[in-house]
């Protein structure tokens, strides 16, 4: 039996925010309260001054396994996740080969079951990410896919995406969409605006996201599909998602820590380390994103953890791959840039990092209640640290050297300590 003493237990699902003891046995939450039992605990964690919350859930990571494991693999990726307080993550399908067939999926799911945290896998939507032929949705679902996404490659054909949404709706599974119309992008990874002009780099305008979101919320409304608008970056897209929800569409939105924290200015200092799809945009967009986080339009924080090698990122802007890592800084970015600034409470931030993503995927996690799986994060909201070392194989983060608040001390998955600072 494990006793977690004196922590501030914050559980968004039940609106619990209370300093108490938490007891864990056989991988499950046994009970709350200082006098819960006379029995001796085998291990005691002193969580005085710390927040005890459900293990974090990230619906959007890239573990590059199989085929691109020089960037990350499922073992290093799960270590990075555990160090960031995550106990459940959802891997995207843009691996090599792509996860668009039962063989690749089954092998991966089997290996993912051996990991210390829960690593789930989406299936591609289209064969070879070509946006032309649907994967076998039934077979992929039957072999362990938790949802569908061609993340990385936008699906540009409206008729095709409608068919894909119908399939996802029939199975009541989420379909996650990377919303950028490539025909409107001059260059990926940098917002089209003052900074791209200054650098003479073309750029990807917010319009490229907006037109896709506008199209897909209407198709979502028509089909009833559970649609996750991935890594929302444009202020107008936030308004569109709000509108979709008001119409009753089953539309959800996720935002990355970088999109709520920084703007296109950061490219000037960090170059390719701040290149990602969609790009970080203007202060106006960032403020609209925060508005969307506050009023519930944006349901989830997701990292889009996208490891790349130092050599790849050292190339010139146009050639370097897009993406940054995020698992080990996500919680602290939320604490520092949303809670400490007074935008969200811990309860609200944690809701978007635990129960909301868990519910979208119908995962049995994200809740601290008697009998629930003992997936927990214990962090010190006041402790600051400077971002420097990573458990990830990659270090492509523009936040290296930044001081953040909110240090993870323990991550517990199925009652076992999987990370200890």
The tokens describing 417, both together, are 């300590």
Instruction: List CB contacts of 341: < 8 A, sequence separation 6 or more.
Output: none
Least Cβ distance, residue 238 to ligand DOR (angstroms): 18
Report the candidate in 338, 327, 329, 349 with the shortest Cα–Cα distance to residue 53.
Answer: 349
Cβ 330 to ligand DOR shortest distance, Å = 15
User: Closest separation between CB of residue 278 and ligand DOR, Å?
Assistant: 7
Binding stretches for ligand DOR (CB under 6 A): 62, 94, 151-152, 178, 276-277, 304, 306, 321-323
Cβ proximity to ligand DOR: between 205 and 323 the closer is 323
Query: Which residue is closest to ligand DOR by CB?
Result: 323
Residues 44 and 54: their CA atoms lie apart, in Å, by 18
Closest contact distance (angstroms) between CB of 283 and ligand DOR is 21
DSSP 191: B
Say which DSSP state 233 is in: -
Compute the least distance from the CB of residue 232 to ligand DOR, in Å. 12
Catalytic residues: 304
Q: How many CA atoms lie within 13 A of 225 on its CB side?
A: 27
Pairing of strands 148-149, 416-420: unpaired
CB nearer ligand DOR, residue 250 or residue 396: 396
Contact 134, 163 (CB under 8 A): yes
CA distances from 407 to 85, 138, 224, 305, 367 (A): 9, 41, 40, 19, 21
Give 27-52 as a DSSP string: TEEEEESTTS-SSPPSEEEE-TT-EE
Cβ proximity to ligand DOR, 68 vs 109, nearer residue: 68
Using the minimum distance from each CB to ligand DOR, give the nearer residue, 22 or 204: 204
CB of 209 to ligand DOR, least distance (A): 12
Region at 6 (left for phi over 0; alpha for psi -120 to 50; beta for the rest): left
Nearest approach, Cβ of 323 to ligand DOR (angstroms)? 3
SS3 166: helix
Find the DSSP H helices in 295-375. Answer: 310-313, 330-334, 346-353, 355-360
Calculate Rg over the CA atoms of the chain: 20
Joined tokens for residue 65: 């396994």
Task: Give strand pairing partners of 376.
Answer: 54, 412
Identify which of residues 266 and 306 has a Cβ nearer to ligand DOR in the complex.
Answer: 306
Instruction: Give the H/E segment covering residue 21.
Output: strand 16-25
SS3 136: coil
Helices 283-294 & 346-353 angle (0-180, nearest 10): 90
Closer to ligand DOR by Cβ: residue 193 or 326: 326
Query: CB neighbours (10 Å) of residue 347?
Result: 15
Contact 405, 383 (CB under 8 A): yes
Nearer to ligand DOR, 223 or 256 (CB): 256
Looking at the Cβ atoms of 259 and 351, the one nearer to ligand DOR is 259
Closest distance to ligand DOR from the beta carbon of 313 (Å)? 11
Check whether the bond before 97 is cis (ω within 30° of 0). Answer: yes
């Amino acid at each position: 039996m494990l006793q977690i003493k004196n922590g501030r237990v914050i559980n968004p699902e039940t609106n619990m925010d209370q300093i108490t003891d938490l007891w864990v046995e056989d991988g499950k939450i046994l009970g709350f309260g200082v006098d819960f039992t006379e029995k001796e605990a085998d291990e005691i964690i002193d969580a005085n001054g710390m927040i005890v919350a459900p293990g974090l859930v990230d619906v959007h990571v890239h573990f590059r396994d199989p085929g691109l494991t020089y960037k990350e693999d499922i073992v290093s990726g799960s270590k990075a996740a555990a160090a960031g307080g995550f106990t459940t993550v959802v891997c995207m399908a843009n691996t090599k080969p792509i996860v668009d067939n039962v063989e690749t999926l089954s092998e991966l799911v089997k290996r993912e079951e051996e990991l210390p945290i829960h690593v789930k896998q989406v299936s591609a939507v289209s064969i070879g990410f070509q946006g032309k032929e649907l994967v076998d949705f039934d077979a992929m679902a039957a072999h362990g896919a938790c949802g569908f996404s061609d993340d990385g490659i936008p699906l540009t054909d409206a008729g095709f995406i409608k068919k894909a949404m119908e399939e996802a709706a029939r199975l009541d599974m989420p379909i996650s969409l990377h919303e950028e119309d490539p025909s409107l992008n001059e260059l990926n990874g940098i917002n089209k605006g003052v900074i791209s002009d200054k650098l003479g780099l073309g750029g990807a305008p917010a319009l490229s996201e907006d037109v896709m979101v506008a199209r897909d919320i209407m198709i979502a409304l028509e089909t009833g599909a559970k649609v996750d608008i991935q890594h929302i970056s444009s202020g107008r897209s936030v308004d569109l998602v709000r509108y979709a929800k008001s119409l009753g569409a089953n539309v959800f939105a996720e935002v990355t820590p970088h999109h709520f924290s920084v703007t296109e200015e950061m490219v000037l200092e960090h170059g390719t380390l701040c290149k990602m799809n969609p790009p970080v945009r203007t202060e106006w967009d960032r403020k609209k994103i925060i508005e969307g986080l506050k009023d519930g339009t944006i349901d989830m924080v997701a990292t889009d953890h996208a490891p790349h090698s130092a050599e790849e990122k050292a190339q010139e802007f146009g050639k370097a791959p897009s993406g940054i890592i995020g698992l080990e800084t996500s919680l602290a970015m939320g604490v520092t840039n949303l809670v400490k600034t007074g935008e969200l409470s811990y309860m609200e931030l944690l809701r978007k990092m635990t129960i909301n993503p868990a519910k979208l995927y119908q995962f049995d996690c994200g809740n601290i209640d008697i009998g629930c799986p003992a997936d927990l994060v214990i962090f010190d909201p006041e402790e600051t640290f400077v971002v420097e070392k990573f458990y990830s194989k990659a270090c492509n983060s523009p936040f290296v050297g930044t001081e953040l608040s909110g240090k993870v001390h323990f991550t517990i998955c199925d009652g076992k300590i999987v990370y200890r600072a």
